[in-house]
Structure formats: structure tokens, C-alpha cells
Amino acid sequence: MVGLRLCQLAMMFCNISILCQLPLALNRLVAVTSPVAYSSVFSNRRTMYILVCLWIVGCATVSPYFFDGCAFVYEIDTFLWAYSNNSCGNAMVTFDFVYGTSIEVAVITLDMTTFFAICVRTKKLAKLRNGEKELRQLRKNISFYLQGCIISGFYVVMIFSFFHLSKFAKTKWTAFAATTGFWLVAQGISGAAIFAFNGSFRKTLSCYRSKEGETSKKCPTTVAWHPK
């Protein structure tokens, strides 16, 4: 029973991580197209509401597994994640695939819109004499855009591999690589991308504090997770 619940938790966290890509893509779009309104659109309170909604939706996606006869388990013999071999299991396979695919399609659409907005805005700012400050901010937003594209790309590969490539696995280890392996890689790349494209985050990790407890000038007091 404990192992079964752990599998459900794993699916819940995966669904939440996939869903998180949607507000982040919208975040990038607003940062590029409406930088002045960004702070009000993504205020601390609204961001908190978004996070709460993400967790509620994530929990709801795995709620069917708490009913008898509906399960999502990890088979040790085959190294594969398996759904119940019944109507509930078949429905959940379809739901999980449509859920992940729909979100990634929406994310890619938002990212493409952001890309065209970046191109248009860059041309406009390049023509302005006093647009250097905004142009620097736009370039910073571009780094967040690239971060999101990399993460989304790996999530697309993860979903495709989990539901399709795994069917062609001939050994247990290729099955593991096509499912759990890609799953772990996508999550790892997600964290690595945040570290690679977020200078403030890197500085925070590498900064130090003096013995007197005073913050070093090289150490930022806050981490800019999102462009402002």
C-alpha cells in the first residue's frame, strides 16, 4: 500500500511540474510585451494564488487512483510504470497523455508568441536613442525565455518517450531509460537551466557572509526568479 501511494505521489509531482510550465510561459510573455504591468499582473498575492491552484490541480489529477481497481504502479520485473488493466487504467493513460500534451502545446504557443514579441520589441528599441536601458532589460528577459524553451523541450521529449518510445524497449534497461530515465533527466535539466540562466541565483549560491554577520557586497539579498 505504501509503495502504491508513493507511485501516486510521483505522478502528482510530475503533473504539477508539467503544469508549472504554463504560468511560467505566460510570465515570460507578459515580461516581454508588458514590462510596466508585469509587477501588478504577477504580484506576490497573485503568484501565491497561482501556486495554490497548481497544487490543487496536481492533487486532482491523481485522485482517481484512490478508488479501488484504479492504480498506477512501478513494475520491478519490467522497470516500467503501469496503469491498471481495466477501464479506469485505460482512461487514465489517455488523460495523462492528453493532459501533458495539451499543456506543452499551450506552452510552445505562448513561447512562439513571446519570440515574435521579442523580435518586434528589439527592432523598436534599437531605433530609439533612449531605449538602451529597456533593451538591456529585454535581453535579460530573453535569457529567461531561452531557459523556458529548454525546459519545455525536454518535457516534450519526456512525455513522448514515456508514452511512445517505451513501447519499443526490448530490455529492462532501455525501458527504464525511456521512462524513468527521461523523467529524471527532464527534472534535472529543469533545475540546471534555472542555475545556468539565472545570474542572481548563481551569485546567491556562491556568496558568503562575514564573521560579523554582515552581508557581503558580492552577495545579493534577494534572488530574481522572474524578470521584473
Q: Which residue has the higher pLDDT, 49 or 1?
A: 49
> What separation in angstroms does the CA of 38 have from each of 5, 147, 176?
39, 19, 42
Confidence of residue 95 (pLDDT cuts 50, 70, 90): very high
User: In this predicted structure, what is the pLDDT of residue 199?
Assistant: 65
- Say what the pTM is: 0.75
Instruction: Give per-residue pLDDT as tens, 188-217.
Output: 888 787 777 666 656 666 664 444 445 444
Helix (H, G, I), strand (E, B) or coil at 82: strand
In the chain, the percentage of residues whose pLDDT exceeds 70 is 76
> What separation in angstroms does the CA of 43 have from each of 40, 49, 56, 201, 226?
5, 10, 20, 20, 11
Q: Write the CB contacts of 27 (distance below 8 Å, at least 6 apart in sequence).
A: 42, 226
Question: For residue 225, what is its C-alpha cell?
Answer: 526568479
- What are the residue boundaries of the structural domains of the chain, listed by start? 1-212
- Output b/e per residue, 91-114; b: 16+ Cβ within 10 A: ebeeebeebbeebbeebbebbebb
User: In this predicted structure, what is the pLDDT of residue 205?
Assistant: 61
Q: Which residue has the higher pLDDT, 26 or 135?
A: 26
Instruction: Give per-residue pLDDT as tens, 35-93.
Output: 788 888 888 888 899 999 999 998 899 888 888 788 888 888 888 888 888 998 899 99
- Least confident piece of the model among 8-22, 95-109, 134-148: 134-148
CA 40 remoteness from chain centre: 23
Strands (E) across 100-145 are located at none
User: In this predicted structure, what is the pLDDT of residue 198?
Assistant: 67
CA angle 48, 50, 54 (to 5 degrees): 115
How many CB atoms are closer than 10 A to CB 151? 25
Q: Looking at domain 1-212, which of 1.20.1530.20, 1.20.1070.10, 3.10.20.30, 3.40.50.300 is its CATH number?
A: 1.20.1070.10
Task: Name the pairing type of β-strands 80-83 and 72-75.
Answer: antiparallel
Question: For residue 63, what is its C-alpha cell?
Answer: 485522485
Q: Which residue has the higher pLDDT, 173 or 139?
A: 173
Helix count and strand count (H, E) for the chain: 8, 2
